[in-house]
Structure 1
């Protein structure tokens, strides 16, 4: 990803999360790292399909000590994930909410706006997945 693209993505994430220390640094033409306070917290992938540009962010959250693999994302686990994500992303207004009829994942909101899902992952504990559409970046410099 080029510098302008990383700057736009960093500005968007900083504004969305309410965290001035978020930045995006290119790794290759289609990959970048999301940094908070200069520390890598997530991977960002660029995808262009039939002229539509989007980005996918993947952030792993380690399992709680003693947690069973593929345990449901229940109330206590949502609270733990919310605290971990708020701390990692410096996003005080981030909420992790129950999904209707689903126990293997939860929804993530910032300022009441849906931004992604957290799903149980056998190897990594839980993974926050966020998608950003190119149109979301309009007006970001």
Structure 2
């Protein structure tokens, strides 16, 4: 089960990263190592907790509507409430893309058989060291 301090740190981290005061991380009611992310009181994403040989990490996953690459940027900016978020093509890969906030790599967007119909999955690793200290919002243009 996720501890309350983990949930609080994840909430602070994601709120800062996605420039939103309306993000809340909640313990999944049935799965001990899973948290649900709500935004504006609606389901937004899922977080899976992983502890391996004393190393703690979290996997943030969000379904995003599948659409042509040229339309993804506008959609992702709206979903994550940030003009600084950008979708970039991956070199030598046509089945996935990378998402950045400014020059910071956030994660990979890819087709997945487990995703809903017409959806892609955005996966972002969150390391325990990412949750340490204060979270300063980027000076980038967020809106």
TM-score tier by shorter-chain length is 0.7 to 0.9
Question: TM-score, with normalisation over the residues of structure 1?
Answer: 0.82
Deviates more, 1:82-91 or 1:45-54: 82-91
Q: CA RMSD in A?
A: 1.8
Distance 1:39 1:112 in 2: 29
Residue 22 of structure 1 corresponds to 23
Deviation at 1:29, TM superposition (A): 2.7
Q: 2:102 & 2:22 partners in 1: Cα distance? A: 18
Cα separation, partners in 2 of 1:53 and 1:116, compared to 1, 3 Å: same
Q: Which residue of 2 aligns with 1:108?
A: 99
Paired residue total: 129
3-state secondary structure, aligned to 1:45: strand
Equivalence for 1:49: 52
How far is 1:5 from its partner?
Answer: 1.0
Taking the TM superposition and a 5 Å limit, the aligned residue runs for 1:1-141 are 1-27=2-28, 28-64=31-67, 77-122=68-113, 123-124=115-116, 125-140=119-134
**TM-score between the two structures when normalised by the length of structure 2:** 0.81
Greater Cα offset, 129-138 or 13-22: 13-22
When residues 140 and 26 of structure 1 are mapped into structure 2, their CA distance, relative to the original with a 3 A threshold, is farther
**Whole-angstrom distance in 2 between the partners of 1:33 and 1:81:** 24
Could you tell me how far 1:118 is from its partner in structure 2? 0.2
